[in-house]
Amino acid sequence: MSPTRRRALIGALALAALPVAARASAAPALHVYRSAGCGCCGAWMEHMRRAGFVVTATETDDLDPIKARLGVPSDLASCHTATVGGYVVEGHVPGSDVLRLLAEKPKAIGLAVPGMPIGSPGMEQGATREPYAVLLFAPAGRRVFARH
């Protein structure tokens, strides 16, 4: 296990060990912009709650202006967009990767999982899983942050 993943895991375990009231005040606040009728968005939000995030949502019929305002490149777009700790989270990014992002604090706009890969959080239906990459994106470029 890499030192950065170890740090993120230790932080998540420490958060889970806190009393419920303390955990709620220490938990990262994640705000999701999503379409009202999208079931996988709701499943991803539940995944993020289980990962320790306090999740709120805004339902909208037009996500494109929000994605543009937040700096999400169109080729990285997915079905929902979230903000947390000054970063953007686009699509079905695992909670563990978001916790790692918040622990490492890289200079970036955020993380993205383009499209809707089967087996990613919120897209777990069926027995098959597609391999996918979580991309860290910034104005200067992008790189693979994690592979699943």
Percent of the chain with pLDDT over 90: 72
CA distance linking residue 109 with residue 62, whole number of Å: 21
Distance between CA atoms of residues 95 and 42, nearest Å: 14
* DSSP β-bridge partners for residue 133: 147
Nearest CA to 91 among 59, 45, 51?
A: 45
Domains in the chain, number: 1
| Domain, as residue range, for 67 | 3-147
**23-66: per-residue pLDDT in tens?**
445 799 999 999 888 888 999 999 999 999 999 999 998 999 99
- Strand 80-84 versus strand 29-34 pairing type: antiparallel
pTM of this prediction? 0.81
The residue among 130 and 12 whose pLDDT is bigger is: 130
- Residue 87 corresponds to which tokens in the numbers above? 């970063």
Tokens encoding 143: 């790189």
For residue range 52-110, what is the model confidence (pLDDT) as tens digits? 999 999 999 899 999 999 999 999 999 999 999 999 999 999 999 999 999 999 999 99
Q: Are 28 and 55 in contact (CB under 8 A)?
A: no
